[in-house]
Amino acid sequence: MFSFLSSSKSSPDLSFIGADMHSHLLPGIDDGLQKMEDTISFIKQLHTLGYQKLICTPHIFAGVHPNSPETILPVLASVREKLQQLEIPVSIEAAAEYMIDHEFEQAVQRGDQLLTFGDNYILIEMSYMAASPYLQKVIFELKLAGLQPILAHPERYSFYHPQFQQYQELKDRGCLFQINMLSLCGYYGKQVKNVAKKLLKNKMVEFVGTDMHHQNHLHVLQQFAKDKKLYGFLENAGLLNSTLL
């Protein structure tokens, strides 16, 4: 039983999750936070919620967010230095959220340096408009390269909603799933919430992430973390977040 449920206090406690593995906290390099002071503030507030490690995953998307290890890792180093100066006891790492497109497929085939975390996990995403024609091939090539793909927020791909078997096909190909915490509170709409719950019920989810971009995300998460429904959704999910500590 989670400590939140056994406590008479109303303060949230997400320490059972342990590590967040999907966020856009590194300042100024994608559509997430833009200022170092905001990054530090958000990290402090997420730590207050119970997170012990934060794995930042800036977008890498050719022509939109042309990031690379060369643009991401120096920013990570700056954030770590600031946290150390302020004596904020949070572990912070960086990987990336890779858009599945032709450029990414070529990078995998070339053997380019890719930013991973944990046990060779790599976070991938698609457009919300349509399934990527490269998805299945990229999953195969990542597995062949010894990397474990994790599909970010599968519940938000509405083109899969009427074809739930598509999710099972991706699982059968060895792809892990990460759902967004905010999906469970209906932040993205009722249909997304229902699909997230169905994925959890069917034991198809390995990770949950904040996908933190801005103040509204943080505020909604702080409020939702006070709701016992959240803990009910995740209580028996068998999440792997804590293995990243």
- Residue 9's pLDDT is what? 47
Interval 171-178 mean pLDDT? 98
Amino acid identity at 93: E
Q: Per-residue confidence at 127, pLDDT binned at 50, 70, 90?
A: very high
Mean pLDDT taken over the chain: 95
Does the pLDDT at position 226 exceed 70?
A: yes
Task: Answer yes or no: are the C-beta atoms of 100 and 125 closer than 8 Å.
Answer: yes
Instruction: Please give the backbone phi and psi of residue 16, each rounded to the nearest 5 degrees, phi first.
Output: -70, -20
The answer on pLDDT for 240 being more than 80 is: yes
Q: Is a pLDDT exceeding 90 seen at residue 55?
A: yes
Asked which of 18-22, 65-69, 235-239 is least confident by mean pLDDT, the reply is: 235-239
Q: What is the mean pLDDT of residues 180-185?
A: 97
Task: Provide mean pLDDT across the span 120-145.
Answer: 97
Residue 21: pLDDT over 50: yes
Place of tokens 């060369």: 70
Predicted confidence at residue 12, as pLDDT, reads 83
Q: In the predicted model, what is the mean pLDDT of residues 132-158?
A: 97
pLDDT score at 169: 98
Quick check: 1 pLDDT over 60?
no
Does 66 have pLDDT greater than 90?
yes
What pLDDT score was predicted for residue 235? Answer: 84
pLDDT of residue 218: 98
Domains and CATH numbers, the chain: 13-244 (3.20.20.140)
- C-alpha pair distances (Å), 222 with each of 26, 81, 181, 196: 20, 26, 11, 19
* pLDDT at residue 3 tops 70: no
Read off the pLDDT of each residue in 75-100 and give the average, rounded to a whole number: 98
For residue 200, pLDDT beyond 90:
yes
- What's residue 6's pLDDT? 40
pLDDT of residue 10: 60
- By mean pLDDT, which of 44-53, 54-63, 133-142, 227-236 is the weakest? 227-236
What pLDDT was estimated at residue 85?
98
* CA separation for the pair 207, 3 (Å, rounded): 20
The whole-number pLDDT of residue 172 equals 98
Rounded CA-CA distance 14/17 in Å is 6
What does the pLDDT read at residue 35?
Answer: 98
